[in-house]
Amino acid sequence: MRYQKPKGTMDILPGESSKWQYVENVAKDVFDRYRFSEIRTPIFESYEVFERSSGDTSDIVSKEMYDFKDKGDRHLALRPEGTAGVVRSYVENKLYGPEHVKPYKVWYKGPMFRYERPQSGRQRQFHQIGVEAFGSDSPELDVEIITMGLAFLNELGIKNLKVAINTLGDPESRANYHQALVDYFTPFKDQLSDDSKVRLEKNPLRILDSKDKNDKEIVKDAPSILDYLNDASAQRFEYLKSLLDDLDINYEVDPTMVRGLDYYNHTIFEFMVTDPAFNNKEITVLAGGRYNGLVEELGGPETPGIGFGLGVERLLLLIDNELDLTTDLDVYLVTIGEKAEKASIKILAGLRAAGFSADKDYLSRKTKAQFKSANNLNAKYTVTIGDNELENDTANVKNMATGEEHPVSLENLAEELKGIEEK
């Protein structure tokens, strides 16, 4: 019997995992500077948490959930996205309380699960990095979030990003727009895809997001949200744009950009890139928006929120493959003889405690083979210890790049190596 990983999952092997660590480290670094703290929530939640937050007509909930009953007959689901769990946690832990500084800013990373047909760039277990900020309705916070997303991607070396923004307005503007969409699509009802027929009843905004070719044709002439904004929403959007201008952020307003979920309002945004890794097709790298109704939907007090999320697998395809992420090995111990081999265990522990990365041969191989391993591992130094040297408290350090050799005292090996390093 040969076992295989479940369909739609990936092993992230050493070599590849250093790229993941790099991305996660940059995320932590950038988000730290913006004072976002990491939050870690369970990878499974009550099914209703996702049903409530994504809506039961969303693709995620209606088709893609990994849901199951546990032995106690609880209906649970592996998380398909990060926001719902974070909001559940925000409410459950009363993070809206007066002892917490507002806005309450968090970020997360981790695996997400969707039962989808696996294909290139589409897995059943994939990963997202995302951020959420609660408790401020200010467009200035919207801009902070957009700026932080850009800083993150720029720091990863992803350039030529297109920033697309739109607004969904406040509930009143949305309601007006909702009616305009119903009025527009109803005469086309028979021509719409089956999914969009349902959407017309339940959530006409989602028709704008349809991937069906025929739907797309009909959507082309649909009314624009920008014509249905009330004054307050329009002014808010103007202010947001002026802040982006102040920061010299180039953006395009895309009035067709929507979010299907009811709790989204005001600012939504996506960062797009055109890259050979995706056959020079424009793809969305990062997407976010304001969701002022979600905390309430999950049982908390009325609390504005805004966030973004991105798929890490997709992001990694955009990252320079030439990046050198290998970590050097400082010291490789070469031992000659049984006593030296035994003593090397303690010496190795001492080196590591002193902050060196260090390794040795565990296969009792000949000296030449040990030097070969040192080479393969890119060791900066080898320290050769023989039984005689051990008795005299000496060892031989070799700089593998220059070939230069020094005798050193074993007693003070770490100190001696630091001395050599400094030269």
Pick the closer one to ligand ATP by CB: 128 or 173. 128
Pick the closer one to ligand ATP by CB: 206 or 314. 314
Pick the closer one to ligand ATP by CB: 47 or 278. 278
Shortest separation between residue 182's beta carbon and ligand ATP, angstroms: 23
| Closest-approach residue to ligand ATP (CB) | 311
Shortest separation between residue 79's beta carbon and ligand ATP, angstroms: 12
Residue with tokens 């719902």: 84
Pick the closer one to ligand ATP by CB: 103 or 309. 309
Cβ-based neighbours of 26, under 8 Å, separated by 6 or more: 152, 155, 156
List the one residue out of 304, 265, 309 whose CA is nearest residue 96.
304
Cβ-based neighbours of 346, under 8 Å, separated by 6 or more: none
Shortest separation between residue 60's beta carbon and ligand ATP, angstroms: 7
Torsion of CA 291, 294, 296, 298, to 10 degrees: -170
Pick the closer one to ligand ATP by CB: 315 or 374. 315
Shortest separation between residue 311's beta carbon and ligand ATP, angstroms: 2
Shortest separation between residue 270's beta carbon and ligand ATP, angstroms: 9
Pick the closer one to ligand ATP by CB: 123 or 136. 123
Shortest separation between residue 16's beta carbon and ligand ATP, angstroms: 16
Taking each helix axis as running N to C, give the angle between helix 16-33 and helix 139-155, from 0 to 180 degrees, rounded to the nearest 10: 150
Tell me, rounded to whole angstroms, the distance of Cα 55 from its chain centroid: 23
Shortest separation between residue 114's beta carbon and ligand ATP, angstroms: 5
Binding site for ligand ATP (CB under 6 A): 81, 114, 116, 121-123, 126, 128, 284, 287, 309, 311, 313-314
Pick the closer one to ligand ATP by CB: 122 or 352. 122
Pick the closer one to ligand ATP by CB: 130 or 135. 130
Shortest separation between residue 408's beta carbon and ligand ATP, angstroms: 51
Q: How far is CA 86 from CA 44, 61, 337, 408, in A?
A: 12, 17, 57, 55
Shortest separation between residue 124's beta carbon and ligand ATP, angstroms: 7
Pick the closer one to ligand ATP by CB: 264 or 356. 264
